[in-house]
């Protein structure tokens, strides 16, 4: 269950000069349920395109994207996406933004009692207890992304899609949120597809690191990270295995730059 599969997915973009650019060529990847998979690669390798297709925001041109065997073509209630730009509604409070995750999933304006409780529990889980009535502009970038994460988690997604969610945050905040994400993932057991350009982040978080080659986007190498979870319980970044994987991955990416 909670298995996400890309089968021969293609995508072309038309450039302003009228040329067709192949962004993604016959991309195939199977992500087992409950796994944390990161995709890294140089910019323009189609990794964000991949995620937007999985989220049902743009159609795949060829091939199929499947969730537990069922074809995905539109945004699914079983999925949640977390964006680098966060995308909180400025006119809604923290509480209102999190509630939106349920409202647009259930197509109801009012949350029932259980859902309200869930929203509060989720806010507590991401460390935002006491901030329910704040507006986004009153929060720091890191706290805003906690709201973004809560809005995704409150939907109890089978698949969590994350598009460079910590890319715009400062290094300290990023490290803290990485640990919290691992902690939360350990509890909710969603399958995670995580896009990043930060190799260390990919290795630290994931079971599997998918390295993509430059245009047309395709899988170049898949690394399995065997360091035990949860990785915040010890200094995973200082492990030999970590340095070893980073060295392999960096070699692989360097050829694509």
Partner 1 sequence: MTQSADRLSSGAKFSFASVGGGHYVVATFSFIGFLLLWQVVSMNVPPIILPGPLKVAAAFVELTASGELIRATAQTVWPFAIGLVIAFVLGTALGLLLGIFRPAARILDPYIFVFWSIPNIAWLPLFIAWFGVGQLTLIVFVFVSAFFPQLLTVESGAKEADSFLVEVARSLGGTKREILHVVVLPAALPYIFAGLRIAVGRALVGIIVGQLLIVATGIGYMFQFYGETLSLAKYFAPLIVIAALAVLLNRGVNWAERALIPWKQRAFV
Cα first-last separation, the chain: 37
Q: CA-to-CA distance for 202 and 70, rounded, in angstroms? A: 28
CB nearer to partner 1: pick between 44 and 96? 96
- Give the C-alpha separation, 119 to 153, whole Å: 9
Q: Cα–Cα distance between 176 and 134 in angstroms, integer?
A: 22
- Selected from 23, 50, 143, 249, the binder of partner 1 by CB under 8 A is 143
- How many chain residues bind partner 1 (CB under 8 A)? 35
For residues 88 and 203, which CB has a smaller minimum distance to partner 1 in the complex? 88
User: Burial letters for 207-242: b for 16+ Cβ neighbours within 10 Å, e otherwise?
Assistant: bbbbbbbbbbbbbbeebebebeeebbeeebeeeeeb
Examine residue 168 and tell whether it contacts partner 1 (CB under 8 A): no
How many helices and strands (H and E) does the chain possess? Answer: 7, 10
Q: Give the shortest CB-181-to-partner 1 separation in angstroms.
A: 13
Going by the DSSP 8-state scheme, the letter that residue 57 receives in this structure is S
Task: Tell me how far, at minimum, the Cβ of 141 lies from partner 1, in Å.
Answer: 13
- Pick from 2, 11, 47, 155 the residue near partner 1 by CB under 8 A: 155
Site string for partner 1, 63-92 (x = CB under 8 A): ------------xxx--xx-x-x-x-xxxx
With binding defined as CB under 8 A, does residue 111 bind partner 1? Answer: no
The DSSP secondary-structure symbol of 136 reads G
**Residue 21 sits in the site that holds partner 1 (CB under 8 A):** no
User: Smaller CB distance to partner 1: residue 185 or 242?
Assistant: 185
Q: What's the closest the beta carbon of residue 176 comes to partner 1, in angstroms?
A: 6
**Nearest-approach distance from CB 7 to partner 1, in angstroms:** 22
> What is the chain's Cα-based Rg?
18
Buried b (16+ CB within 10 A) or exposed e, 81-110: bbbbebebeeebbbbbbbbbbbeebeeeee
Residues that bind partner 1 (CB under 8 A): 55-57, 75-77, 80-81, 83, 85, 87, 89-92, 100-101, 103-105, 107, 127, 130-131, 134-140, 143, 151, 155, 176
């Amino acid at each position: 269950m909670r298995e996400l599969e890309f089968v021969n997915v293609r995508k072309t973009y038309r450039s302003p000069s009228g040329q067709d650019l192949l962004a993604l060529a016959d991309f195939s990847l199977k992500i087992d349920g409950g796994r944390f998979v990161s995709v890294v690669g140089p910019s323009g390798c189609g990794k964000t395109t991949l995620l937007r297709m999985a989220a049902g925001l743009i159609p795949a041109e060829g091939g199929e994207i499947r969730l537990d065997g069922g074809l995905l073509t539109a945004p699914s209630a079983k999925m949640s996406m977390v964006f680098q730009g966060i995308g909180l509604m400025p006119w809604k409070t923290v509480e209102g933004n999190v509630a939106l995750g349920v409202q647009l999933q259930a197509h109801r304006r009012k949350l029932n009692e259980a859902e309200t409780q869930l929203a509060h529990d989720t806010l507590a889980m991401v460390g935002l207890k006491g901030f329910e009535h704040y507006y986004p502009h009153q929060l720091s970038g890191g706290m805003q992304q906690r709201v973004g994460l809560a809005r995704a988690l409150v939907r109890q997604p089978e698949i969590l899609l994350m598009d460079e969610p910590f890319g715009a945050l400062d290094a300290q905040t990023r490290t803290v949120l990485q640990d919290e994400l691992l902690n939360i993932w350990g509890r909710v057991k969603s399958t995670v597809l995580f896009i990043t350009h930060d190799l260390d982040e990919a290795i630290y978080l994931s079971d599997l690191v998918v390295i993509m080659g430059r245009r047309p986007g395709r899988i170049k190498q898949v690394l399995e990270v065997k360091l035990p979870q949860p990785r915040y319980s010890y200094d995973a970044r200082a492990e030999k295995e970590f340095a070893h994987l980073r060295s392999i991955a960096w070699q692989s990416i360097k050829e694509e730059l």
